[in-house]
Amino acid sequence: MTILLIEDDPSIAQIVTDYLEKESFTIMWCEDGELGYNTFLTNTYDLIVVDLMLPKMDGFTLCEKIREHSDVPIIVVSAKQSDFDKVRSLEIGADDYVTKPFSPFELTARVKAQIRRYKRGAQPQAEYMFFQDVKIDRKGRRVIVDGEAIVLTAKEYQLFLYLAENPGQVFSKEDLYTEIWNGDGFDSRTVTVHIKNLRYKLKDGKKLPKYIETVWGVGYKFIGIPGK
């Protein structure tokens, strides 16, 4: 997957490039808004990272012009921390907003989360998903175990559905927090508690799990066997 990075600070661009390339992304870097826009027009990208304070064309204008042609995910990365700048960025088409200084790990997690959302939204989804004793009713936003609907909070449902939609993929707690809680104020305990509650309600043992497996030192993955 290819990411267009539009950032006028070479040191920040290098850090972002190094971290994203470790995750097997290909990075195209442009150091001003005008070059970034022209590069966008001549290539196809899976996501765009945009600084707001750019020479030749500012980030706000750039986002607006990109949105005239594409719904590709856009993450704004900026030293501007006011609510006005964040709201304006989101209103003109940005999908996420990260303030400088930022954690490269957090930015990487947000990049992966936005790409997953975009790819998932482009694919048709079945109304039901079946795994052993579990049935997920997407339309009704319900999880049914052994023929009986269990009571899940909104976040528990979102978390379980997200894991089920990405079977076998290992997610760190930060990955899950970024996806389900939008990444603000990362709290690993929140993820741990929700996983614990899901296991209890699903009657999914931690030692011999059927659905959610702990990958020690990394995070969690979904291991449910598809059925009907």
pLDDT of residue 121: 63
Give 48-68 pLDDT, tens digit per residue: 999 989 999 998 999 999 988
pLDDT of residue 215: 92
Classify residue 166: in a domain, yes or no: yes
Residue where a domain stops, chosen among 101, 121, 141: 121
Edge-to-edge, what's the strand order for the sheet holding 47-51? 26-30, 2-6, 47-51, 74-78, 96-99
Q: Which residue has the tokens 């992966």?
A: 112
pLDDT of residue 7: 93
Residue where a domain stops, chosen among 78, 104, 121: 121
| pTM score | 0.60
What's the chain's length in residues?
A: 228
Distance CA 51, CA 22 (A): 21
pLDDT of residue 33: 92
Q: How far apart are the first and last CA of the chain?
A: 34
What is the CATH number for 80?
3.40.50.2300
Same domain assignment for residues 7 and 117: yes
Q: Which domain holds residue 45?
A: 2-121
Residue where a domain stops, chosen among 121, 153, 185: 121
Mean pLDDT (the chain) is: 88
Classify residue 202: in a domain, yes or no: yes
Same domain assignment for residues 7 and 85: yes
Which pLDDT band, with edges at 50, 70 and 90, does 31 fall under? very high
CA distances from 148 to 11, 29, 133, 164, 225 (A): 55, 52, 10, 19, 19
User: Total structural domains in the chain?
Assistant: 2
- Longest Cα–Cα distance in the chain: 61
Q: Please, are residues 71 and 92 in contact by the beta-carbon 8 Å criterion?
A: no
Same domain assignment for residues 95 and 139: no
Residue 122 pLDDT more than 70? no
Same domain assignment for residues 113 and 135: no
**Range name among 112-116, 156-160, 196-200 with the lowest pLDDT average:** 112-116
